Amino acid sequence: MGYCGYCDRYFTNFYDLAMCMTSAVELINPEVAGHHKQTAFWAYEIADTMGIPLGQQQTLIFAALLHDIGSIPLNETLDYYDENDQTVNRHAIIGARLFSEFPRLQNVADVIRFHHIQWDGGKGQHFKGKNVPFLSHILHLADRIAIQVKKGGYVVSQIPAIKESISRRKGLSFPQEAVNAFLQICDKEALWLDSMDSSSFLEIPASLSLKAVQLTLDETVNLTQLFSGIIDFRSPFTALHSAGVSAVAYSLAKLCGLSENECKMMSIAGNLHDIGKIAIPKEILEKQDRLEPVEYDIIRSHTYYTYRLLKPVSGFEEITQWAAYHHEKLNGCGYPFHIKADGLSLGARIMAVADIFTAITEDRPYRAGMQKKQTLKSLKSMVDNGSISPSISSRLAENYGSVDEIRRKAAASAASRYQRLLQV
């Protein structure tokens, strides 16, 4: 679903963006690939068996798909298997705080916040003076069911052991009624096979009308801005980069005569242009020495992953190209698609300039950003060798002061937002 410039229509659905972020989280730790879908699958089956109302089931599934998103900005690696891991509650609080800044997702935030709270004979209905949604306990149960499935073994053969493990914790870790609902259905081999089959998961969005939860263009801008913060802050080396690129891209789009809606779409593309870096090991992202050839190949692949993560999102057809083509060059020497000038839209050309300008002018832990004279010299060199658009570079040079100030303010705002996010 795209945006209609002549009427107030929705731009995309929240489900597609949730699935995008779910896939991104799992790129960090391939060992748990499929974990969030499997958690959502069991949460749905348990809630449905219990007769939980449709609206609450929607909230639960979105929370299940996004329950570990708060682990992205943590420096530690989240141990999915150890509930005593010190980062467990921290990532839940961070994830909840992220969505709390988005009013329409407050219910999702509340479920995520408490999804590792033990039931403890009913004491888990409250935590530090706050009421814990019952959906959080269903999510906790579904999460623990999914994590017990061993990747190397045949899932049906694992049913007795998982059943026994969950039964043993009834009334302790999990509410009795939720465990009873699981025990009512857990002997069905077909359910376990479905839980391991990605295509089976596609039946849930349709049955719960998940794709009916629509976002306006402005809401999409705001939500992707929140996503960009937790993506960038995986590494202090690029902690404020996407915020700057988004602001500069929006500014350059206006200077180039794009409509207000197109400028907002440029902002979204800037927010998400480096989402593919989630697939790149931090030791490569943060390496200050010269990259080895294989490391250089790995880091260059981030634009491919950006393309793959964004491509399934409805309404993002242009945004996906603008975001994923930011390292393509007019002379065809860019990557990963080696697209030449005739295949690069104005939006893609703007994004390339916005990314380069932001990268060379922002401060990094290992070097200060370039000053105006050096920046313009670098951009001119890239224009001369046929890498970037001369007209966009000229507009940037003519408005250098205002564009750079916009970049600085966006970076400062992102830093402040991130500090609030991590106050746990």
Where do the structural domains in the chain lie, given as residue ranges? 34-212, 217-421
Identify the pLDDT of residue 4. 46
CATH superfamily placement of domain 34-212: Hypothetical protein af1432 (1.10.3210.10)
How many of the other CB atoms lie within 10 Å of CB of 404?
21
Average pLDDT over residues 127-131: 93
- Which pTM does this prediction carry? 0.91
- Of 58-67, 86-95, 166-175, the one with minimum mean pLDDT is 86-95
Q: Which two tokens stand for residue 230?
A: 């937790």
- Count CA atoms closer than 13 A to 344's CA, side-chain side: 27
For 96-175, list the strands marked E by DSSP. Answer: 126-127, 130-131
Q: How does pLDDT run across 196-205, given as a tens digit for each residue?
A: 987 788 788 8
Q: Helical H runs in 51-120?
A: 54-66, 87-100, 106-113
For 53-67, 200-214, 326-340, which range has the lowest pLDDT when averaged over its residues?
200-214
Average pLDDT over residues 398-404: 97
Q: Give the pLDDT confidence of 209-264 residue by residue, as tens digits.
A: 998 989 999 999 999 998 887 788 777 777 789 999 999 999 999 999 999 999 99
Q: What tens digit of pLDDT does each residue of 150-204 get?
A: 888 899 999 999 999 999 999 999 999 999 999 999 999 999 999 998 778 878 8
The answer on pLDDT for 337 being more than 90 is: yes
**Cβ distance 137 to 174 under 8 Å?**
yes
- At 125, give phi and psi (nearest 5°): -75, -10
Query: What is the residue-averaged pLDDT of the chain?
Result: 90
pLDDT of 27 reads 85
User: Which single residue is written with the structure tokens 């950006």?
Assistant: 306
pLDDT bin (cut points 50, 70, 90) of residue 387 is: very high
Lowest pLDDT segment from 83-87, 102-106, 322-326: 83-87
Instruction: Answer yes or no: is pLDDT of 327 > 70.
Output: yes
69/88 Cα distance (integer angstroms):
12
Residue 1: the pLDDT is: 47
More confident residue, 348 or 5: 348
Residue with tokens 């069905």: 188
Note the pLDDT tens digit of each residue in 267-320: 999 999 999 999 998 889 888 888 999 999 999 999 999 999 999 999 999 999
Return the pLDDT at 325.
98
Q: What pLDDT is attached to residue 6?
A: 34
Mean pLDDT of 67-83: 66
User: What gap in Å lies between CA 404 and CA 244, rounded to an integer?
Assistant: 9
Whether 81 shows a pLDDT value over 70: the answer reads: no
Residues 6+ apart with CB under 8 A from 78: 29, 68, 71, 85, 87, 88, 91
Domains 34-212 and 217-421 alike in fold? yes
The pLDDT assigned to 424 comes to: 57
Q: Which fold has domain 217-421?
A: Hypothetical protein af1432 (1.10.3210)
d(CA 4, CA 296): 41
Residue 30: closest CA among 292, 387, 281: 281
* Residue 3 scores a pLDDT above 50: no
pLDDT at 87: 52
pLDDT band at 83 (very low <50, low <70, confident <90, very high): low
DSSP letters for 11-69: -EEHHHHHHHHHHHHHHH-GGGTTHHHHHHHHHHHHHHHHT--HHHHHHHHHHHHHTTG
Q: How far apart are CA 20 and CA 128, in angstroms?
A: 33
C-alpha 424/C-alpha 418 separation (Å) is 12
Is the pLDDT at 5 greater than 50? The verdict is no
- Give residue-wise pLDDT tens across range 410-421: 999 988 877 777
